[in-house]
Each structure stands twice: as structure tokens, then as C-alpha cells.
Structure 1
Amino acid sequence: MASEQKGTNTICTHTGSVEDKLYKGATSPLYMSTSYAFEEVDVKRYPRYFNTPNQEALGKKLAALEHTEKAMIFGSGMAAISTALMTFLQAGDHIIFQQTLYGGTYNFAVTQLERFGISYSFTDGWRASDFEKEIRSNTKVIYVETPSNPLLTITDLNGVAEVAKRHGIMTMIDNTFASPINQNPVDFGIDLVIHSATKYMGGHSDICAGVIASTEENMEKVFQTAICFGGSLSDYTVWLLERSLKTMGLRVKAQNSNAQRIATYLEQSPDIEKVYYPGLMKHPDHELAKAQMKDFGGMLSFELNQEIDVTLFFKHLKLIKPSMSLAGVESTVSSPVKTSHALMSPEDRTKQGIKDSLVRFSLGIEDFEDLKGDIEQAIAKVKSMRVHA
């Protein structure tokens, strides 16, 4: 596509806009209709068919950002994930999931797939060899997530894609944590890319949406499933998402910078047990992350030492918000055991390495010194309470 030759910020700003032919406005007009003509038209449009003017245009922007032929927008990240899985799996099939996985995806796998006669397995690790060990004669899909939620593990995309292609297996990735600004999985051989657009694409904590991007052939199959599941997004939210995407490159660049600086600071703090961030030299997959990511992302996680109670730490933060979601312009923290991975059993969380002391940190665009100061004062207050208890 011609748009692939443009810079990322140019794509974010201009590709996939709806031309205002009537008034020549600078922004896309919003078409709110749920009922369109069906005679003497080139396209029979209907919101559930993902082809209203705003839906269609935004799909072009998202495809250009992910270097794919086509993309579709859904009502949530889980709507995109479930639609993708149910498009390419049927009774009798088997899917391999990465061990370190978003809790919602994990919950969908363990509570829904067997109802449809679909078997699944989780890898012991996230190396290409770990996936190959799980392949069966009926394996149809390999599903990865890198960087992973919440421990920021890095999966070798080239390696997994090579294993999958050798065995005739489709590959899917949840690319939410990286965003298309930091990583384009199809460039490494991955077949289908999924996003929770609620996160970096929306970027302002006011949009719930999902994305699937792939080839024309794959997306036609996705479309046939999607129109049955009804996971389309309202055109007003589509319009808001297109507006938000215009600044994604700028926002993510600032978030990347803050994450790198905060991770470095936390790594040196005696109050922090461990920091998980692929931009740190001590991260076990730092070199792999450098090879397949343009930057290391705005997400990190860390474990507080035993002297510092997580709940009290959250309570005493003044600037950073304890909040369920992530990737907004404001910095947020969460406890994975209470939020993103609450649906997993304690035993399964332990297998993934998710401890009660783990804090997931989504960096916003604030000034670094203000974020650092907020962490320091919250820790100081918790330690002071312990001394005076």
C-alpha cells in the first residue's frame, strides 16, 4: 500500500480519514446513521457489517499502521480476541497458548474452548522450542503475546513464525503492550495481529475497542464470523478512536521514555525487589527485544520488597492513579492479582510468576521527576507507618 511508504506519524494523522467533501473540514465527518440505502449504491452499509464510512476508513489507518492488507475494529479487545479464535478454530482442533498471557484471554481459553470441542495447551515457557514441543497433529493456531501482561516477557516472533510455517499452523499475536508504534509482528512472519484499542490506540482512558489486522483472505474469514457475533463498535466511538490515533506516535514516544527512566530508577531502589522491563540490560530477553521492537514500550512491572504493603503504597500515591486499565496519558498502577489476572487461580498465577507484591505500572506522559517524586513519597509514608506501628 502507498501509505506504508509514509512515516508513522503521517499515517496516524492522515491515512484512513474520511474526506469532508461538503464543507472541506480538516477532520473526518461523523456518519451516525444505522440505516443506509440498499438500491443504486456500490456498498450496502450496515454497522454490524463493519462497513460504515467511519468504520471502513479507520480500518485503512489501522492496516497501514500494522503493515497488513486489512483491519477491522471491534467493540473491545476481548471481542477481537474471541472472534479471531472462533474464526480459525473448530471442533476437533487444538491451539497452543503462550504461558504468560493476559488474564482475560486465559479465562476465555479455560472456560469456553472445551464447550466447542476445541482443545488447548499452554507452553512451559516462551521460547520457540516451547511452542514446538506442544504441537499435535490437530494443532491449528499458535497464540503469543509479547511483551506479555504483566511480566513483560519477550517471545521470539521470527522463531515462532518459522516453527508455525514449518508445521502449517497459523500464528496470532496480542500486540497491545507494544502498540504498532513499537512493534509490527507481520514483519517477523506472524499471520494475524490483535489489539485492545482501549489501550495505546485510544490513549485517553475513554474508549473501549479492539482490532484485528491481517491479509485480505484472513480478514474475509474474520468478517464472516464477526457479523454473526455482533461485536461492532458504534460510529461515534470509531470517530473518537480515529481522532485519538492521530497523536499515538507522539504519546507512545513520551511513554517509552518515561518507562525507561522509571525502570532504571526502580532497579536501583532498595525498596524494590525486582523490575520487569525489556529496556533494562538485566532483562533476560533485552537483546531479543532490541531486535524486534523499535522501542521498549510504556509498560513495566515491579515487586515491592516485603516491608512495603502494596495496598498502602497505592493509597498514598498522589499523582499516579491506582486504576484497572492502562496506556492512557495519565500514569496508572494496578495489582494484577486483583485486576487483569483475578480470574486465574492462585496456583496458575504462581506458575506464571505473578506475586501478590507485583505492581503493574503504565507510564503516562507526565514529567519524570514528578512521577519519581510520587513513588518516593508514597514509599516513605508506608515505611513511616511501619516504624510507628
Structure 2
Amino acid sequence: MNKSNKLGINSICVHVGEVKDEQFKGAISPIYMSTSYAFDGVDVKRYPRYLNTPNQEMLCKKIAALERTEDALIFSSGMAAISSAMLAFLKRGDHVIIQQVIYGGTYNFVVTEFDKYGIEYSFTESDKAADFKALIKENTRILYIETPSNPLLGITDMREIADVAKEKNIITMIDNTFASPINQNPVDFGIDIILHSATKYMGGHSDISAGAVAASKEHIEQIWKTAINFGGNLSDQTVWLLERSLKTLNLRVKEQTKNAQIMAEYFESNADIDRVYYPGLKSHPQYKIAKKQMKGFGAMLSFELKKGIDAMKFQNSLQLIKPSMSLAGVESTTVSPTQTTHALLSEEQRLERGIKAGLIRFSVGIEETDDLIADIEQAIKKATN
């Protein structure tokens, strides 16, 4: 385990993974923009695509410390991290089991690319460990989960999944984007490899595209061998910006999580909302599991508008909250999963996953909740037929 975990979470966010300014003693990390480094007489042969420039190397230490793992890697996007990690452990003839309700980009990657590689895959019917266990075959190499899931905030019992995998010496992977390292550390529950779209909470300001993988040194070494062939590295300027953003990760996410609980309770009491998906509500079917494995319930929620309220007209009527493709910035945003994250699925596939036309995914920001509620109410009035 990373020794830096003896520090408090804010201290880790601020201080671990800094690049020391030995020359001028500046308070923040300098940027090393070089794409060409010496190869003779040096301890490390550095090259941007090898994910080991000074800024890249030190940022990985911060992410590993936040996720309580031995090591980490950073990438140009969440999908670069996911694809590099999965293909590092899969070859022709291997089999992977994937949770049914996952990010649409991950689903599309699997169904579009794996057949080309001769990799078999199965999707579970639910997020229960028994469903994963029933699909395991001799050639199963990975169990892949996402909790909380996108966009319905389903909760998967990480300990149960890890136990099922360890019985068969299978690797476990999790997309931990929605929780962030602040609200959940999957390594504590036996999960092997932790994935993030660092574009989201780690970046936090809707101006960075990045991905991250955190795991043991052994697993990171294997992922690195595949990743350097795909070239999904970040520019060092973006690396610097991400390290800057991570300094306030705990402060931002805690405020967003507090606001999300308030908003979820408001939606649950609102007659214009048919259903709310948020693991912090006692009405959530997996509330007890979420309470057991999460330190906070996160800042993401989804809700279904009552029939007769047009989802797009509602979002276009918002004045403070921004209809926007991404999530997890300090500003609150909404999105229609049917038109964005899960647009590549057929309508039948979306309905099988419970994703309806009136579903709105809500990324809660740091604004005052009274202002958010007022904006929601005026938009509902304008969108009601």
C-alpha cells in the first residue's frame, strides 16, 4: 500500500505527486514540456508515449495515493484507459464478463472491437455476483463492473465480485468514475484494477480530457506494455492542469455530494418526477450495499420526468443548469442518455437497460441548492404540455 496514505486526504491531494522546483523553489510544480530526453547516463529513458515524463510520472503517484494502490498510469481519455487495461489482459480465445448497465462508450468498445480480436464476451442480466458466477467459463479472464453505474446509479457489491473472481484466479476491473477516489476506494474491497475518466471529477472544471488506471505494480507494468503501443498519452500541459485540479478534489467532491443528497430528496418529493436514481436515498434498492462500501454517495443522480413533460424542452428551458455532454464539473449539468452516452445502443437495448426517453442524468455542482431547485421548477413549468 502507498505510504502516502498515512497523510490526510487533503494533504494527499495537495502535496503527493508534486514535481519539486529545485531551481527556483516555486510553490507549484513546474512543467517539463520536452518531447526529447537524454538516453545515455540516465536512470530513466523518458519519452511522452512511454508515459514517464517528469510530470506524468509524478501525477501517477498522486492518483495511486488517492486510490490507495501501489501504482497508476494516466491516459488521454477514460476510453484510452479502459481499452488499454482490458486489452493488456485479453487475447484471442479469452472471455470477459461485463456488467449489463455500463457506460455506453465501454459497451460500444466491447461489441465493436472484441469480435475483431477473437475475444469472447458476455453481459450479465443484473449487477448481482451470482449472475457473474453463472457466466464464468474456463477461458474467463476479466470480470468488469461499474459502480455506481451510468446512468441509473446501480450499485454492485464489490466484495462479492472480488470473492467470485479470486476463486477462479480472474482479474477484476471497475470503472470508479462516478464515485471518485473521495467516495470509494475499490482496492479496499479486493478489486484489482481501478479505472477513471479523469475528465470528470479528477479534472473537475470541464476543461481537461484524461483517463487513469490504478492498480498493483505488477498489473500496471502489464498495462504499460500494451499502452505504449496504442499511444494514448497526455500532453504535459494537460498533465500539469490535472495535477493542479486534483489539489481541490476532496473539497469539490464533498460539496457536490452534499448538494446531490439534497437534490435527490427534493426530486423524490416532487410530483412531476416519476422516479429518482440515487444510492443515498433509502428507497434505492441497493442503499445498504452503497452505505457499506461508499464513504459518500456521490454527486451523480438520474431522474425520470413525468409523462407529458418533454425532456429536451425541459433541459432547453434551464437557465442556471447547463445541458451538456459531460459531467462532474463544478457547474451543474444535465444530459439525455438516449441522445448521448447511450445513443449508440438501439432503442430496444436502451429499454432493456431501463433507459427511457424521459430519463435525465444530473451532475450536481457546487451552486446553492435553492438556486438549482428554482431553476428546475421553472423549467418543468415551461416543458409541461
Question: Structure 1 length as normaliser, TM-score?
Answer: 0.98
Cα deviation for residue 256 of structure 1 reads: 0.2
Aligned to 1:301: 302
Aligned to 2:311: 310
CA distance in 2, matches of 1:2, 1:76: 28
Structure 2 residue 245 is matched with structure 1 residue 238? no
Aligned to 1:46: 47
Cα deviation for residue 273 of structure 1 reads: 0.4
Q: Deviations over 1:244-293 (max 9, x none)?
A: 00001000001101100000000000000000000000000001000000
Q: Deviations over 1:52-75 (max 9, x none)?
A: 000000000000000110001000
Q: Residue 99 of structure 1 aligns to which amino acid in structure 2?
A: Q
Aligned to 2:4: 3
Aligned to 2:66: 65
Aligned to 1:339: 340
Structure 2 residue 25 is matched with structure 1 residue 24? yes
CA distance in 2, matches of 1:347, 1:214: 36
Structure 2 residue 104 is matched with structure 1 residue 103? yes
Query: RMSD value over aligned CA atoms?
Result: 0.6
Q: Deviations over 1:314-352 (max 9, x none)?
A: 111000000000000000000000001111111111111
Q: How does 1:190-269 map to 2 (within 5 A)?
A: 190-269=191-270
Aligned to 2:172: 171
Q: Deviations over 1:23-51 (max 9, x none)?
A: 10000000000001111111111000111
The DSSP-based 3-state class of the residue aligned with 1:254 is helix
Q: Deviations over 1:156-177 (max 9, x none)?
A: 0000000000011100000000
CA distance in 2, matches of 1:7, 1:36: 35
Cα deviation for residue 2 of structure 1 reads: 2.1
Q: How does 1:133-152 map to 2 (within 5 A)?
A: 133-152=134-153
Aligned to 1:153: 154
Q: Residue 15 of structure 1 aligns to which amino acid in structure 2?
A: V
Structure 2: gaps of 5 or more residues: none
Q: How does 1:365-384 map to 2 (within 5 A)?
A: 365-383=366-384
Structure 1: gaps of 5 or more residues: none
Structure 2 residue 34 is matched with structure 1 residue 33? yes
Deviates more, 1:38-47 or 1:324-333: 38-47
Question: Structure 2 length as normaliser, TM-score?
Answer: 0.99
The DSSP-based 3-state class of the residue aligned with 1:158 is helix
CA distance in 1, matches of 2:311, 2:21: 51
CA distance in 2, matches of 1:41, 1:115: 41
Q: Deviations over 1:115-171 (max 9, x none)?
A: 001000000100111110111111000000000000000000000000000011100
CA distance in 2, matches of 1:131, 1:358: 27
Aligned pair count reads: 384
Cα deviation for residue 190 of structure 1 reads: 0.3
CA distance in 2, matches of 1:2, 1:97: 33
Aligned to 1:113: 114
CA distance in 2, matches of 1:287, 1:247: 29
Aligned-residue identity in percent: 63
Q: Deviations over 1:207-256 (max 9, x none)?
A: 00000110111111011001111111000000000000000100000110
CA distance in 2, matches of 1:258, 1:372: 11
The DSSP-based 3-state class of the residue aligned with 1:26 is coil
CA distance in 1, matches of 2:382, 2:109: 40
CA distance in 2, matches of 1:134, 1:116: 20
Q: Residue 292 of structure 1 aligns to which amino acid in structure 2?
A: Q
CA distance in 1, matches of 2:201, 2:324: 15
CA distance in 2, matches of 1:128, 1:9: 34
CA distance in 2, matches of 1:219, 1:303: 40
The DSSP-based 3-state class of the residue aligned with 2:339 is coil
CA distance in 1, matches of 2:187, 2:3: 17
The DSSP-based 3-state class of the residue aligned with 1:148 is coil
Q: How does 1:71-110 map to 2 (within 5 A)?
A: 71-110=72-111
The DSSP-based 3-state class of the residue aligned with 1:63 is helix
Cα deviation for residue 14 of structure 1 reads: 0.3
Q: How does 1:262-301 map to 2 (within 5 A)?
A: 262-301=263-302
CA distance in 2, matches of 1:46, 1:97: 34
CA distance in 2, matches of 1:299, 1:13: 24
Cα deviation for residue 7 of structure 1 reads: 1.1
CA distance in 2, matches of 1:20, 1:304: 52
The DSSP-based 3-state class of the residue aligned with 1:337 is helix
The DSSP-based 3-state class of the residue aligned with 1:211 is strand
CA distance in 2, matches of 1:76, 1:232: 9
Cα deviation for residue 307 of structure 1 reads: 1.6
Cα deviation for residue 382 of structure 1 reads: 2.1
The DSSP-based 3-state class of the residue aligned with 2:337 is coil
